Chains A and B, each alone.
Chain A
Amino acid sequence: MSAATVSDALLERHGVTRDEYDRIVQMLGGRPPNLTELGIFSVMWSEHCSYKSSRVHLKTLPTTGPRVLQGPGENAGAVDIGDGLAAVFKIESHNHPSFIEPYQGAATGVGGIIRDIFTMGARPIALLNSLRFGPLDHALVRRTMSGVVAGIAGYGNSIGIPTVGGEIGFDESYTGNPLVNVFCLGIARADEIVKGVASGIGNPVYYVGSKTGRDGIHGATMASAEFDDKSAEKRPAVQVGDPFMEKLLLEACLEVMKSDALVGIQDMGAAGLTCATSEMGSRGGAGIEIDVSLVPQRETGMTPYEIMLSESQERMLLVAKAGREAEVEQIFEKWDLHAVRIGEVTSDGILRVKERGAVVAEIPNRALTDEAPVYHRPFSRPDYLAEAQVLSLAELAPPAPVEDVLLRLLASPTVASKRWVYRQYDHMVRTNTLVLPGMGAGVVRVKGTNRALALSTDCNGRFVYLDPYLGAQLAVAEAARNVACAGGEPIGATNCLNFGNPQRPEIMWQFERAVAGMAEACRALSVPITGGNVSLYNETDGRGVLPTPVIGIVGLIEDASTVVRRVFRAEGDVVILLGENHGELGGSEYLKTAHGMIRGVPPRLDLGREAALQRLLVSAARAHLVSSAHDCAEGGLAVTLAECCFDAGVGVEVNVPEVAGATAGLADIQALFGESASRVALSATPAHAQDVLAMAAAEGIPASVVGRVGGSRIRLSVGGRAVVDLAVETAEAAWATAVERHFDRALASST
């Protein structure tokens, strides 16, 4: 294959541009690549593996801090949680495979992120997922969602890692391009974190796990392209998960790591053996030489090209210390796994692939990793914003009665209970789950200590669509506020940036603005980002998803007995509203549900005040002053207060003031359903309420007593006018059944 003769068609099939091809030739010293080498370059230089469009922007994120033990660049990030322990965590997307084959796409997404965590020497103890689907009245969407949920359950339940939380949102833009982002957290000894490095000339390189098949070849390339009507034909590129094999690998690898016979380890995820060998070599400043004929194969006649690019699941690559081979092999044998020596570490920095001794590929590692292309893609403010940001409240159709609006919002799938989903997940295995799904941030205790960790993933794509900079800040603020509500001090973050086609300047603009906003918010709230994932090309037939930069935040609770939950605890407790309501309806759930529109500008955000609010929440929780705390988000204060009653079997009576400058006819709507940021509904005993108010004053947080917990009804007044008087049972029924009703109805009509 010479530079002159390589066909456009071949390059296109590999997703390699002519410029990139010329650069490959240059990196090989003027020699054209053979087909295997071209395949290797194509997957390593794909968007998915190289971050070529996003890298320049990601560099602006804050990644360091006193607790950070491992920042971006390894399999996962790690932060110090005290007692000599580290929380190791990351979030990753599996959007494209989950649309093509929902069950296996989602299942292998779970498998992939779990491997990233135990690869670091951490025992995985919690999963969360952040999902986005189209409207549930589409049969296709229900099929996708059922499959994704079953896939997450099938993998997570079997391997025995609890799914303790997450969030799910619905919007038309996700109909043909669902988002499946999976977060995993593990615990390691801080001084025993394992890295994905290959070093020590002559050290043996082992392959362990499932055999290699032809599945998933070019999966990374697929994840770097848009969808069209041919996407269904890409099904063979989706892999099949085997959670049992992964369970064996998990236990065996953790046992090997204890033995001190290990140098480095990495899972074979996207770009399989190619990525594992080149990244491990590159990190260690070494080369790796392997012979593909030694790789265990599931099918006959596989070529080096296929073996190097296969994305078969549940495979690990590890480098052991020379002379300690027997120990490593014995541990794997105990688990009925066979560690196979396929090569060794070399000194020349080259990835050398042989087949029965003959060299079939020879590429400098750094050409595949650090020296992969980096693009400064052009970006420009999209045209849609000028119109979308205009919202004239006075011109909206008059609102329905407030009670009807509340019931409709509670039954909106984005707001409603996700019980139909999380009851399919084992959320209690490992007996650490202190706060069950659906009750705010997920909280797991750390056995052997008094500590617990609060975990939340969040992003309101509507806000990001209307103002990427502010929207991304609001996502960070909300996730951090959620863990603070549980009593957790936010100490680390991971992000999963889901956007459309970066070759379109307006998408790149959304991306650039969102990353800048996220960076600013993380700095202001002192939560470094220790790793994450970028998923671009989330488009179907040229239409992008709402830009969705999901953020996952880990909060530290030093005393697990101080955990705070969402639900009201006792009759007679006082309800305190923290923060200020400006009655903002831009991008709100109300506008979407009642008027079918995504318009206006997102709520304003004062990051200094947000930080102060979170300090207050954590201090009050530590002082055992808080009975319950719940963040105000989609649907505003009325939804928040209703949710505090659900699962609690108790009502509430609250009076809030009118919003200053409210639009005529919308005063009640703005007061109850506005989505102003940095607000929390907190309950406390009357005695503790005084202390909370004093602490709020000291932090400069507006706080007022707005009502009382009690009775069996939700009674809300605005400026002294009673506007809602609903039985908790009625409101709860609307909220609890809204999602499952869609599936039960579909089941009934299909039988």
Chain B
Amino acid sequence: MKFAVVVFPGSNCDHDAYHAVKHVLGQEAAFVWHKDTSLGNADAVILPGGFAYGDYLRTGAIARFSPVMAAVKAFAAQGGPVIGICNGFQVLLEAGLLPGAMLRNNSLQFRCQFVHTRIEHVDTPFTSAGQVGQVLKLPIAHGEGNYFADSATVDALERNRQVIFRYVTAGGDATSQANPNGSVRNIAGLCSEGRNVVGLMPHPERACESALGSADGLVILESIVQSVGAGGGVPLGHEAPSGSSLHV
């Protein structure tokens, strides 16, 4: 399959995402410059991490106006799988493809460290190869990852089973100690109502080789390869429908 890795001016995890899908997973990958208006014949789109336009305004606030974002929106509207990682997640929020906003980390400092992240639902193209409740060791690296939405919005997200990743302890509990940035209800990642657009603050592309300290991120990228291989970006998964388990 073919991944499109969008490059905004100031993207700095574009090479990392490219490396992970191309050299670790052995899939096709192409950089798409933000001024391009087409995604080519991509099967999935990655909005990588970084500091698009320097993030001098709000994170992602200018990147959403880049010409390529119209193509990304159209791709998503047709059910195409789109994943935004870190700054890419922030861009998805600003572009309105996912609800909510990012605040500064509650420590008021940038944080780079490994965290534990629990998969909440597997019926998205980016989690279909995982298990509900599976705990992944993934790095974070951000200054504004404190996810916020009003409680009605968050309740709706929970009801619609759109909270896909939560910060947890190594044992899988979503405690406040396990929350590295103050995100409401320990939210680390979301999906769209159509379930094909996923955004998350942790970096799965940095955790695809054990030499780097964790290969737990592979399950996210392998999910999409399997999903597309099995016939498109439509949510697959095989999750028993149930209320989501909340530990907050």
Contact = CB atoms under 8 A, between A and B. Distances in A.
Nearest to B51: A158
Contacts of B208: 431
A424 B16 contact: no
A244 B51 contact: yes
B54 A335 contact: no
A159 B112 CA distance: 15
A153 B110 contact: yes
B10 A429 contact: no
A244 B56 contact: yes
Nearest to A433: B212
Contacts of A445: 211
B12 A247 contact: yes
A492 to B, nearest CB: 24
Interface in A617-639: none
Interface in B177-230: 203, 205-206, 208-209, 211-213
Contacts of B141: 157, 426, 428-429
Contact of A158 (B10, B33, B206): B10
A745 to B, nearest CB: 15
Contacts of A429: 12-13, 16, 49, 141, 206
A135 interface: no
Contacts of A388: none
A643 to B, nearest CB: 19
A430 B110 CA distance: 17
B48 to A, nearest CB: 10
A371 B124 CA distance: 68
A699 interface: no
| Residue from A247, A248, A425, A445 having most chain B Cβ neighbours under 10 A | A247
Contacts of A150: 109
Given A157-B141, A243-B51, A247-B9, A430 B15 contact: yes
Nearest to B112: A426
A716 to B, nearest CB: 30
Given A428-B212, A434-B212, A243 B54 contact: yes
Contacts of A351: none
A428 B56 contact: no
Interface string B1-25: 0000000011011011001100000
Contacts of B209: 431
Nearest to B20: A431
Contact of B113 (A158, A160, A423): A423
A427 interface: yes
Contacts of A242: 54
Contacts of A560: 211
Contacts of B110: 153-154, 157, 424-426
Interface string B39-60: 0000000000111011110000
B211 A244 contact: no
A447 interface: yes
A150 B104 CA distance: 14
A571 interface: no
A109 to B, nearest CB: 18
Given A244-B51, A424-B109, A428-B206, A159 B20 contact: no
A436 interface: yes
Contact of A434 (B111, B203, B211): B211
B16 A431 contact: yes
A731 to B, nearest CB: 22
A430 B16 contact: yes
A153 B12 CA distance: 14
A453 B50 CA distance: 25
Interface in B68-95: none
A83 interface: no
Given A160-B13, A247-B10, A431 B212 contact: yes
Interface in B118-169: 139, 141, 143
A247 B9 CA distance: 8
A370 interface: no
A8 interface: no
A248 B12 CA distance: 11
Contacts of A248: 9-10
Contacts of A423: 109, 111-113
A422 B114 CA distance: 13
A153 B110 CA distance: 8
A635 to B, nearest CB: 25
Contacts of A725: none
| Residue from A430, A447, A560, A561 having most chain B Cβ neighbours under 10 A | A430
Contacts of B9: 244, 247-248, 335-336
Nearest to A146: B109
Interface of A: 150, 153-154, 157-160, 242-245, 247-248, 334-336, 422-431, 433-434, 436, 445, 447, 560-561
22 contacts: A157-B112, A157-B141, A158-B10, A158-B12, A243-B54, A244-B10, A244-B56, A245-B54, A247-B9, A247-B10, A423-B109, A423-B112, A423-B113, A426-B112, A426-B141, A428-B203, A428-B206, A429-B141, A429-B206, A431-B16, A431-B19, A431-B206
Top 9 nearest A-B pairs (CB, nearest first) are A160-B12, A244-B54, A158-B51, A426-B141, A431-B16, A426-B112, A424-B110, A153-B110, A428-B139
Given A334-B33, A335-B9, A425-B112, 7 more contacts: A244-B10, A244-B53, A247-B54, A248-B9, A424-B110, A426-B110, A426-B141
